[in-house]
Amino acid sequence: MLSRDEYLAAWSRWHGGTDPADSRLVHGWLTLAYTLAVPLGRLSPLVATALGLVVAGAAIGPAAAGGAWLVLSGVLVGLSGLLDSLDGALAIAGGRASRRGFVLDSAVDRLTEVAYAGAFWVAGAPGWLAAAFGALCWLPDYLRARAGQAGVSETGAISVWERPTRVAMAGFTLGGAGVVAGLGLAEEVVTAGAAVGCLLGVVGTTQLGVQLRRALAD
């Protein structure tokens, strides 16, 4: 098992040279995943990946039930995001990282974000807003992938709309809606959270677009 610093350096290499120290949220999120991975070193990364997808899908049910069940939905979203980071920590820190696993993990990430958007929708957010949230979760990683195909080796600095931010935004929004459900404000909170997520998505995608434009111009 790699040390934490070795793991963070290896994570950076797998993510186009992105430095996790550029964001306290990302750095803290990766450190938490590594801390959990150390005692679970024998667990297969694929098991963590599959569990993350199942847990994300399970968040839709409590979101549809509404009321205080939204708190459970928010917890499941947060747990799915943690499992997603855990699989990467198990693979990289345990010396089991592979290109196949990297691609599979990215695909599962996108599917879990569809589940987050679906949870927003069934919890009361307008369909178009939930769809926009989901699309903006996908767009940055799609741009990075296409830029990589065009020969860009670096993925750019960390933006305000990275994976930990998306998970936190979805989880806290749903959980917060459950807390105030007794006041009849759940739908308003979910709608507001989805809107704020879309705003962050636009800002983060713009940041990334500017960086990639410069890289593609070289």
pLDDT tens digits for range 42-96: 899 999 999 999 999 999 999 999 999 999 999 999 999 999 899 999 999 998 9
Among 82-96, 141-155, 175-189, top mean pLDDT goes to 175-189
Percent of the chain scoring above 90 in pLDDT: 76
Q: Provide the pLDDT confidence category of residue 1 given band limits of 50, 70 and 90.
A: confident
Percent of the chain scoring above 70 in pLDDT: 99
Q: Is the dihedral of CA 101, 104, 108, 110 positive or negative?
A: positive
The Cα–Cα gap between 172 and 149 comes to 35
Among the listed residues 207, 179, 175, 181, the one whose alpha carbon sits nearest the alpha carbon of residue 193 = 175
Question: Within 13 Å of residue 216, how many CA atoms lie on the same side as its CB?
Answer: 15
- As a whole number, mean pLDDT of residues 96-124 equals 94
Among 18-27, 38-47, 174-183, top mean pLDDT goes to 174-183
Structure-block tokens of residue 115:
């589940």
First to last CA, the chain: 38
CB atoms within 10 A of CB 5: 9
The Cα–Cα gap between 133 and 135 comes to 5
Q: Provide the pLDDT confidence category of residue 31 given band limits of 50, 70 and 90.
A: very high
Structure-block tokens of residue 197:
């997520």
Q: What is the 3-state secondary structure (H, E, C) of 76-104?
A: HHHHHHHHHHHHHHHHHHCCCCCHHHHHH
Among 38-52, 90-104, 133-147, 186-200, top mean pLDDT goes to 186-200
